[in-house]
A and B are shown apart, each in its own frame.
Chain A
C-alpha cells in the first residue's frame, strides 16, 4: 500500500514497533542507517521486526511502473521475490530525495530507474550483509556460511526469518562498500514477469489518487478561468451561484486569474463555478488566432534563424547544399497539444493541529509542493508534509516551472480562515483550455544528397515557443540563447551528416509551454524521420538501409541506434511480402539515452482509408530491470505519439482555445491501435528511461507507412489535415 510515509510518521512507526530499521543515504550521500527513530537519513528500504520489507519509492507512481522498478532493485539484492515487497512513497524532502539528475526531488526526463539503479541496490546489499552478520554473530558461525533468501537466513544447519535479526542488524555498522550481486546472479532484475505492484489496488478501486481524497469537512474549489488566454478578473457577481445547494462562497483569486467557487461537494463547486458572472479585463490578453501564429512560424523558418543551434554554421551547410546532386526540402507543422492525463488536476490542503498543513497530491514534484505551501502559507518547511498519492497519468503535466495548480491550491487555502481542508478540483475543460501545452513548432529541412544517395548537407530550421527560457530552469537548459528543448533530437542525433546545421527562432507564443511526453523529441523526431524516408525514396534506397548507411562508424551511439533498427526490421519482417493492401513504415529515434525503432504496419482500403494493423518496436534502454514494465511503457508511448498525431490539436480563435473536452480534443481509442509488439535489446549498459522514448518514433513510422500506402506525407499534424482518413 502506498500510504505516505512522512519523515515524522516513519519515526513514529519506528518508536511504536520497537525495531524498525532503515537503510539509505545520509546528507553527504554516504550509505547510512536509521534505527529506532534515530538518524538523519534518506531511507530506501525499511525492515520491520515481523520481517516485512518496505521499499521507499522516491519517485511517484503515475503509471510508469516506478514502484515496481525500484522494488525490483531491492528484491534483487535481498534475494527475495518482487511479490513479497511492500512499498511506500517517500516524504517530500528536497535534500534527502534529490533526483540525482535534477538536484531536487522530482520525476521527469525518464530518469527514475537510471538515477536509482546504484542507490537502491547498494542500500539493499548493505542490508543483506548486516542481516547475515547479525545472524552469524548470534549463531557463532562465519558469515560466509550463511545465505539470505526469501527473507530467511540459513546455513550452518540452521535457518530463521530475518525479523529475528532486525534489532541486531540495526546496531551494526553499515558496510561502506557492500558487495553487489554480479549480473550473472540476478534472479529479479531482467526477469520477464508480470508482477506490477500497483495492479491489485488499481483493479479493485482502492488505489488513492489526488481526486479521491475525502476529508471530513473539506471544501471543494473549482475555478472560473478567463475564456481568453491572459485575461484577468475585473469584477464578478455570484448571485446565481448562491442558489446552488452546497455553495459556500466565491472569492476572486489574489492574482486575479480567476474566481474560486467553494462548495461542499465537487458537483456543487462545478455548478457554482459555471453560475458565476465574471467581467474580464482583456487589455493584456492574447488576441491572435492559430492561423496567424502558424503563419508567423512559417515566416520564421523561411528566414535567417535567430540562433545557431549547432556547431556547424548556416554558411557551411549552405555551401555543402550548393554542391549537392539533389536537394530534398520539406516543411512541417506541429500544433499545440494538451497533456490531458486521465485524472484532471487537483490536490488537497489539510490543516493540522500544530498549525501546519498536509498536502495530498499525486506529486510529480514533492519539492515544489513543499516550497509552494511553505512560501504562500508562510510556514516553515517542517510544518508542511506531503502525502504523495497515485497520479492518474501525468505525461509531464503535474509539474510546471510555475507549479500552477499547487499555487492555485495554496491561494485557495490562504484566503480562508484555514480551519477547513480545501480541495482544488479541475474539470476536463480546465485542463484542455488551460493553456499549458506542448507549444506549436514549425520545421524546415533542406537535405542535400550526393550522386550515390548519401546525405552531404543538412539545414534544419526550427521555430517555436521555448519551454525553459524565462523559467527557473533556464540555467540548465538554455545555452547561447538556444533552448535545448526546442531542438533536442534534431541536433544531437546518432545519424552522422556532414554539414549538419540546426537553426532556431523563438516565437513569443500565446500559451504556457510545458514539457509534454518526450518534450522536444515529440516534434523533432517526426521531422527527422519523415525526412529520412523522403531522402531514401529520392535516392531509391530502402529506408532501413538508408538509415544504416548514416550510422556507420564505431561510435556506441551509432551502433546502438543501428542495433534497434536492425532488430525492429527483422522482427517486423521488413522487406518481406505483406498481405494485400498492407504497408510498412519505419522510424527510429534516440531520446533520454534510450534508442527505439518502430515499424508501423497499416492497411488501406480502396478509398485509401487507413487502419493501423500493428506496431513492432525494438528498444535499447541498457539493462532491462523490469522487462514487462518496459514493454508497457513503450506500448503506452507509441499510443501517445500516434494518438495525437492522428486527430488531436488545439487551435485558438482570437486568444480563446477552441477545444474543451475529449469530444473535440480527440484521444486514441481501442479500435485505433491494439496490436503492439516490443522487443528489448539485451544489454549490459546502465539502465536508461523508457517512459518517453516510445513516443517520438511512433507518428513518423505511421506517416511513412501511410506514404507507402500511396497517401500523402503527414507534414502538418494532426494527420487528418493532410487529407488522411482513418478507419
Chain B
C-alpha cells in the first residue's frame, strides 16, 4: 500500500504495509533516525514526533492512518517553541546519553505551545510519559521553565 504524507515539509509517499508504525517508516524508509525506538509500546516517549501539530508516539501511529498527515521530526523542529526548547537544552546542558532527548524536546515543544507558562504540575503530567534512563529530569524541568522565559522574550 502506498501512503502519501508530508514529513518535515516535504511530500513523501511510502510503500509499506498499513500497520507499519510511523516510527519505523521514519527511521528505516526515510532515514530520519533522530526519532528513537525505546519501547515500542507507548511507555517511553523516545519516538515522539509532531503529527498535525500534536505530539504523538510514532510507535503507536500506523502509517495507514497517516495518509495526508503532516509530520515534523526532531531534524526539522524549528517552530518558535522548538527553537526555544533547543536553546534552553543547550544553555542548561540537559543531555547525557541523549537517546531520549529527541522525544523530550518534541514533547516539550508541544507542551509550551499549549501552556506557555507551565506549572511544575503541568510539566509532571505532560512529560511523565517521556522516560529518561539517564535521569536528566531536574534539568528537563528547569529547561522547560527557561524555554518559557525565552518565548516570553
Contacts and interface: CB of A to CB of B under 8 A. Distances in A.
B55 interface: no
Contacts of A661: 39-41, 43
Given A202-B101, A205-B102, A667-B133, A632 B139 contact: yes
Given A211-B33, A344-B38, A662 B91 contact: no
Given A202-B95, A342-B100, A640 B75 contact: no
A266 interface: yes
B44 A342 contact: yes
A636 B135 contact: yes
A239 interface: no
Contact of A195 (B40, B74, B93, B124): B93
**Interface magnitude class on chain B:** 35 or more
A427 interface: yes
A212 B128 CA distance: 26
Given A204-B74, A205-B74, A390-B98, A663 B139 contact: no
**Which of A201, A394, A674 has the largest number of chain B CB atoms within 10 A?**
A674
Given A342-B46, A392-B99, A635-B139, A211 B37 contact: yes
Interface string A623-645: 00000110011011011100100
Nearest to A193: B93
Contacts of B73: 205
Given A205-B35, A342-B99, A266 B24 contact: yes
B84 interface: no
A514 B86 CA distance: 36
**Which of B20, B94, B124, B132 has the largest number of chain A CB atoms within 10 A?**
B132
**Which of B92, B97, B100 has the largest number of chain A CB atoms within 10 A?**
B97
Interface residues of A, number: 64
Interface stretch (A62-70, A108-116, A477-485): A62-70
Interface in B21-47: 21, 24, 27-29, 31-41, 43-44, 46
A393 to B, nearest CB: 4
Nearest to A200: B90
A326 interface: no
28 contacts: A63-B99, A199-B95, A202-B101, A203-B86, A203-B89, A204-B75, A205-B75, A205-B102, A207-B98, A211-B33, A245-B17, A266-B24, A266-B28, A342-B97, A342-B100, A390-B98, A394-B97, A628-B93, A632-B93, A636-B96, A636-B135, A636-B136, A639-B135, A662-B43, A670-B124, A670-B127, A672-B137, A676-B138
Q: Which 6 A-B pairs have the closest CB atoms?
A: A205-B34, A639-B135, A392-B99, A63-B97, A202-B98, A63-B96
Interface of B: 16-17, 20-21, 24, 27-29, 31-41, 43-44, 46, 73-75, 86, 89-102, 105, 120, 123-125, 127-128, 130-141
